[in-house]
Structure 1
Amino acid sequence: MKTRYAIIGAGPTGLGAARRLTELGEKSFVVLEKNSHPGGLAASFTDKKGFTWDIGGHVVFSHYEYYDRLLDELMQGEYIEHLRESWVRALKSWVPYPFQNNIRHLPNQEKWECVRGLLPGERSETTPDNFREWINSIFGKGIAKYFMLPYNYKVWATYPEKMSFSWIGERVSVVDLRSVLKNIILEKDHLSWGPNNKFRFPLKGGTGSIYRKLAATVADHIKYNTQIVSIDQQAKRLTDSEGNMFEYDHLLNTAPIDILTASWLTSPSEQLINAADKLKHNSVIVAGIGLSSSKTDPRCWMYFPENDCPFYRVTNFHNYSPRNTPIPGQGRALMCEVSYSKDKKLDPAKVVQEVEDGLINTTLLSDTERKDIISRWSINVDYGYPIPCLQRDEALQILQPALESMNIYSRGRFGGWKYEVSNMDHSVMQGVEWAQRMINGEPETTYRI
């Protein structure tokens, strides 16, 4: 098969590219998807008991007019709008998120440690070399100790000293001593920080319903169950596991860039292989605990920095939509995320049981509520988060220009490997902007090399 544009992956980036190519009048393209369904890491699943689960705690918010219009078209008003309510479990207390803005909820001794760490002369004023040093210099030793360091190790499954801080941007709320003291003395909470303070969620079908509908608009161009095994970059030819070949002029890759470089390319240079090897990622197990019983709890999601549970985040997924449970509006769906890596190992066979125990340890469930559990679902995601490790930017500065010289463009959560632009809106727009670059020569603005 010969085509002008080949796209690897029918996740948000690949589908965004396909949709935009169609809008711009381009018909010569194909989307090759290894799974039997679209959505990638934004897919959703319904388990045998009728609970709907996402692959992690996705929420719909946007920085882009194009993405907003696309969502309006796809969801057609069938969504629920939420005001974020999120909390942190620390020191047997529930602290409103962001933790650093609401430390008044901590016990007095730990509250003082957090304040003392913010006082003049307590924080280093030298330029930090890594994420750990950045945390200590921005938040002080108290906030670092009780939340920032343990939580970030838990979510990234990577020691913070092995990470850079160039990705921060709007991802982390920094802290102001004046505001902290004001909130403590006036007993006020600061809750509205962040771009996802207000978000939408599909009424039915989970986040994946968005991308199933998007895929339907370009369905004639998608080939499912197509696993790429090699790319001859000189001949501009893809080969799948069945021996089918696809010739292309331009290639958009949304699969992990390290797999593309080290496993698929024909005879990649040693420089490219070494650069790809510098990229690090964690893995995530999403465990869904479905209960028949209901309980009023307005929280959207909760963060867990401590060791009394394996998960770093739990989402009250039944709050996102009443149709996420078998009987709409009844029961509970607790979606729990657990990370692992070479630096943070676990036994996947024991995770669901450990999650269940952790829900009890953190008071989200009582021991007597075990009898109400009617579903235990899980999915093991090998590529969970692209880690902004110390070598990431250097590696990408080698990989991306070299690939583009071959007419290969690598974008998306793992294709681009930039966590700071891998929300769903970012991911879709990376595909959209790539298509506009190909057809109209417009510069990309979301993903920059």
Structure 2
Amino acid sequence: MHVKYLIIGAGPTGLGAGRRLRELGENDFLLLERNAYCGGLATSFTDNAGFTWDIGGHVVFSHYDYFDRLIESLLGDAYLEHQRIARVRIAQRWIPYPFQNNIRHLPRDMQWECVQALLPHIRTQVQPHNFRQWIEYVFGAGIARHFMLPYNFKVWATPPELMAYHWIGERVSVIDLEMVLKNLVLELDNVSWGPNNMFRFPLHGGTGEIFHRMGAQLDGHVRLNTAVVQVDPAARTVRTADGDVISYSYMLNTGPLDRLVLDCIDTPHTMLRDAAGRLSRNGVFVAGVGVEDTRDDDTCWMYFPEDDCPYYRLTNFHNYSPNNVALPGRQRALMAETSWSEHKPEDLSSLMDKTVQGLVNTAMLDEAHRDLIVSRWSIAVDYGYPVPTLERDGALRTLHPWLEEHGISSRGRFGGWKYEVANMDHSVMQGVEWAERMVQGTPETTYTIQEK
């Protein structure tokens, strides 16, 4: 079998590419997906108790008109729109997010420690060379110690001194002393920062409903339960786990870039294998806890820098859509995320129990209400976030040009390995823009390749 365009993976990037190819009049394409469903990390699941869960706290917001129109065409009016309400749990109290903009809610001694560390003669003036140094340079030692350093280690499961910082962009709200003092003295909250201040969510089916519908519209072009086990760039063929050989003219890989190079491509080029081995990631354990009770809490999600719980983020998933629980208005859906890596090992077999204890420790579940838990769902994802380490860009400068020379593009959260363009909209648009480059010759703008 031969196809002009072969796409590995039917997650957001692969589906975006397939959809755009068809819009551009190209029908000679095929998506190969190793799972039994479309969506990748944006898939949703319904458990035996009737609760719907995402693989983490996904929300729909956009930097692109194309993506906005896509969501509207897929969902119609079957979505809800929310204003973000997020908080940080620290010192046994809730601080509005972003933490660094709202330190007035901290105990007085912590407030002073954070402000004092921002004073010009105390805050470090040494230009940063890694993420840890950048945190201390921008936020001062106080905010770094109480929130930024412990929280980011819980998220990335990677020491911040091993990470770069140029990926930050709109991901982190920076700070200045004048704003901090103004908010303290005038007792002001600053909670509107960030591109996800307003977000959408499907009324039914979780985030996965979006990509279920995208996949359904590509019927005949998507082959599920089909893992790729070998890629021959010279012959431009792939072999699947069931023995099929498919030739192609152009390939888009949206699966993990390291696995493509280390497991699928039989190459004598040690520089490629060395580069792939320098890519770092974490894993994420998502625990869904369904509770037979309600409470007055309009929070969308919460951050947890302290060690009284294993998770770094918790989502009130019932607030995203009432249909995420089995009995709307009578139940809560609490979705927790915990990372792991070689730098931060976790016993996955005990993480659900630790998560429930963490819910008690952080006042999200009353000790007496443990028997009200009616659902315990979990998924352990080996590839959670691509970590922007100090070695990442050098590795990508080796890998991408070689692949492109051999007719292979690699895009998406782990295909491109750039966290800074790994939102849902970014991921879809990477596929869309790749398709436009293939058919129209227009340059990609969301994902750019750095030459050696």
TM-score (norm 1): 0.99
Map Cα deviations across residues 127-156 of structure 1 (whole Å, 9 max, x no partner).
211000000000000000000000000000
Instruction: Give the structure 1 partner of residue 171 of structure 2.
Output: 171
- Amino acid paired to 1:179: M
Within the alignment, does 1:43 sit opposite 2:43 as a pair? yes
Q: Distance in 1 between matches of 2:93 and 2:160?
A: 25
Instruction: Give the structure 1 partner of residue 34 of structure 2.
Output: 34
- Amino acid paired to 2:288: G
Q: Distance in 2 between matches of 1:110 and 1:426?
A: 37
Instruction: Give the structure 2 partner of residue 135 of structure 1.
Output: 135
Greater shift in the superposed pair: 19-28 or 327-336: 327-336
Instruction: Give the structure 1 partner of residue 264 of structure 2.
Output: 264
- Amino acid paired to 1:27: N
Matched ranges for 1:36-435 at <5 A: 36-435=36-435
Greater shift in the superposed pair: 163-172 or 268-277: 268-277
- Amino acid paired to 1:68: D
Q: Distance in 1 between matches of 2:73 and 2:329?
A: 26
- Amino acid paired to 2:164: S
Q: Distance in 2 between matches of 1:82 and 1:49?
A: 26
- Amino acid paired to 1:284: V
Q: Check whether the contact 1:67–1:429 (CA below 8 A) recurs between aligned residues.
A: yes
- Give the drift of 1:337: 0.1
Q: Percent identity?
A: 58
Map Cα deviations across residues 350-386 of structure 1 (whole Å, 9 max, x no partner).
0000000000001111101101100000000000000
Q: Distance in 2 between matches of 1:41 and 1:372?
A: 29
Q: Distance in 2 between matches of 1:90 and 1:294?
A: 23
3-state SS of the aligned residue for 1:124? coil
Map Cα deviations across residues 258-311 of structure 1 (whole Å, 9 max, x no partner).
000111012241000000111000000000000111112100000000000000
Q: Check whether the contact 1:318–1:334 (CA below 8 A) recurs between aligned residues.
A: yes
- Give the drift of 1:328: 2.3
Map Cα deviations across residues 166-224 of structure 1 (whole Å, 9 max, x no partner).
10000000001111111111111000000000000000000000000011111210000
- Give the drift of 1:402: 0.6
Q: Check whether the contact 1:257–1:415 (CA below 8 A) recurs between aligned residues.
A: yes
3-state SS of the aligned residue for 2:38? coil
Instruction: Give the structure 1 partner of residue 443 of structure 2.
Output: 443
Cα 1:414–1:127, aligned 2, differ >3 Å: closer, same or farther?
same
Q: Distance in 2 between matches of 1:172 and 1:268?
A: 41
Q: Structure 1 runs of 4+ off > 2 angstroms?
A: none
Q: Distance in 2 between matches of 1:248 and 1:195?
A: 38
Q: Check whether the contact 1:291–1:373 (CA below 8 A) recurs between aligned residues.
A: yes
- Give the drift of 1:126: 2.2
Count matched residues: 449
Q: Check whether the contact 1:262–1:268 (CA below 8 A) recurs between aligned residues.
A: no
Q: Distance in 1 between matches of 2:268 and 2:233?
A: 9
Q: Distance in 2 between matches of 1:341 and 1:91?
A: 27
- Give the drift of 1:121: 1.7
3-state SS of the aligned residue for 1:88? strand
Q: Distance in 2 between matches of 1:238 and 1:286?
A: 33
- Give the drift of 1:329: 2.7
Q: Distance in 1 between matches of 2:164 and 2:83?
A: 31
Q: Distance in 1 between matches of 2:176 and 2:166?
A: 20
Q: Distance in 2 between matches of 1:200 and 1:36?
A: 26
Map Cα deviations across residues 303-357 of structure 1 (whole Å, 9 max, x no partner).
0000000000000000000000001232000000000000001111100000000
Q: Distance in 2 between matches of 1:159 and 1:126?
A: 20
Gaps of 5+ in 2: none
- Amino acid paired to 2:385: Y
Q: Distance in 1 between matches of 2:185 and 2:124?
A: 26
3-state SS of the aligned residue for 1:384? strand
Gaps of 5+ in 1: none
Q: Distance in 2 between matches of 1:330 and 1:21?
A: 44
Q: Check whether the contact 1:322–1:330 (CA below 8 A) recurs between aligned residues.
A: no
Map Cα deviations across residues 386-434 of structure 1 (whole Å, 9 max, x no partner).
0000100000011000100000000000000000000000000000000
3-state SS of the aligned residue for 1:299? coil
Q: Distance in 1 between matches of 2:276 and 2:329?
A: 47
3-state SS of the aligned residue for 1:415? helix
3-state SS of the aligned residue for 2:192? coil
